[in-house]
Amino acid sequence: MAHNLNFNNRTGKYSFFSVQQKAWHNLGQIVEDYPTSEEAIKHAGLDYEVLKKPVFIEGEGLSMGENGEIIEGSNMMIPDRFGTYRSDTNQAFDVVGKDYQIVQNREAFSFFDAIVGGGDGILYETAGALGNGERIFITAKLPDYIRVGNGDDATEKYIFLTTSHDGTGSITAAFTPIRIVCQNTLNASLRNMSNVVRIRHTSGAKQRLEDAHKVMGLANQLSHEMEGIFNQWAKVKVNDHEVKKLIQLALCPNKETLQHLQKGNEDEISTVFKNNVDDAFAYAMISDTQQMETTKGTLFGAYNAVTGYYQNVRNYKDGEAKLQSIVMGGTAQMKSQKAFELCTAFAIDGAEIFNLN
């Protein structure tokens, strides 16, 4: 399976670090203790500057010589276009416009340090670069937890940030809770609130990145509401049939499949979809993490069957594809959000929302 992690030929290392646990196909640096932001940048191989310079077309322009003569075939500069590249290897990234504001890797880390008041309590867990170093990502753990039931089922609170240096995409910071027991990412938007803040690469990007401590407020608000909701769901009993219905509706790929589900036309449903549902249902039934008091036979467990399937069972092309799917608005995040909405409705109206036969 591909990983797309940047390999720095100059240092002979992959641009990635993780605390204690191996990840990304056992590549990169594994460190025992949570590093400071300065240490994390070095561990992850992100200690390079991103620069930009004018773009020229070779041999296509006209210029004037010392005596006023016209010289053909000289390099021509393209107005208002610049190439971005990394300082340590001179690796070129892409062409950007004149208003594109580079956000240096160290500034991305300073965002995390700022939101918790100087770095006390922020725990850098992973960071790395993808491709040629044009996209970086950082995950940092906040010091407290979301606790469900008697407190044994704890959910850690993370903030994830990614940015690019090639003009594609915005600076994105997202709040994402992860259950400790199964490393299961729970992406839920409550009351039409998004768990993601996006910042454009424009002249004001640096200032807005510095001011993005609102992500911390968002994390606090979402985690408080999630704790209440998940504790409520842990008290709502569901049977196996209802769990499977929830999984079917959450994973449903299109209206045609939904109509077949509602009419009970199992023979008309694709084998791929059936297999996905079976895999998620098996995870719900036999996973050790699903046998906890807070999850076994509960609505909370049914929700975790969907999110756990995408995090722990589903196969992805590579690590970047998994990140995109789970955190950055991809299929896994959308399906997990659908499961969240279904469980919210079930807690109010019961099994009728599944159109059970």
| Higher-scoring residue by pLDDT: 16, 1 | 16
What does the pLDDT read at residue 235?
A: 92
**Pair of tokens at residue 260:** 């077949």
| Higher-scoring residue by pLDDT: 169, 250 | 250
What does the pLDDT read at residue 357?
A: 46
Mean pLDDT, range 178-185, rounded to an integer: 68
Q: Is residue 64 part of a domain?
A: no
- Same-domain check for residues 215 and 246: no
- Same-domain check for residues 208 and 257: no
The last residue of a domain, from among 206, 225, 244: 225
Residue 283 domain boundaries: 234-354
Q: Is residue 92 part of a domain?
A: no
What does the pLDDT read at residue 51?
A: 93
Q: Is residue 59 part of a domain?
A: no
pLDDT more than 70, % of the chain: 85
Give the strand pairing for 184-185 and 196-199: unpaired
pLDDT in tens, 133-165: 998 988 888 888 888 887 778 888 888 888 889
What does the pLDDT read at residue 107?
A: 86
The pLDDT of residue 347 is above 70 = yes
- Same-domain check for residues 191 and 273: no
The pLDDT of residue 1 is above 50 = no
Q: Report how many domains make up the chain.
A: 2
Q: Is residue 16 part of a domain?
A: yes
- Same-domain check for residues 238 and 119: no
What does the pLDDT read at residue 356?
A: 47
**Pair of tokens at residue 205:** 């990007």
Q: Is 322 within 8 Å of 312 (Cβ atoms)? A: no
| Higher-scoring residue by pLDDT: 323, 203 | 323
pLDDT in tens, 256-285: 888 888 888 888 888 888 999 999 998 888
Q: Is residue 56 part of a domain?
A: no
What does the pLDDT read at residue 203?
A: 60
Q: Which residues pair with 178 in a beta bridge?
A: 156, 185
Integer Cα distance of 184 and 304 in angstroms = 8
Q: Is residue 76 part of a domain?
A: no
- Same-domain check for residues 212 and 241: no
Q: Is residue 211 part of a domain?
A: yes
Is the model's pTM score more than 0.85? no
- Same-domain check for residues 216 and 175: yes
- Same-domain check for residues 219 and 246: no
pLDDT in tens, 17-67: 888 876 666 778 888 888 988 899 999 999 999 999 888 776 555 555 556
The last residue of a domain, from among 225, 252, 272: 225
- Same-domain check for residues 214 and 240: no
* pLDDT, mean over the chain: 81
Question: Which pLDDT band holds residue 74 (cuts at 50, 70, 90)?
Answer: low
- Same-domain check for residues 113 and 202: yes
Integer Cα distance of 115 and 11 in angstroms = 32
What does the pLDDT read at residue 45?
A: 94
The last residue of a domain, from among 205, 225, 245: 225
Terminal CA-CA length for the chain? 42
Q: Is residue 118 part of a domain?
A: yes
- Same-domain check for residues 281 and 302: yes
pLDDT in tens, 287-316: 666 677 778 889 998 998 888 888 888 888
- Same-domain check for residues 302 and 176: no
- Same-domain check for residues 342 and 316: yes
Integer Cα distance of 314 and 13 in angstroms = 29
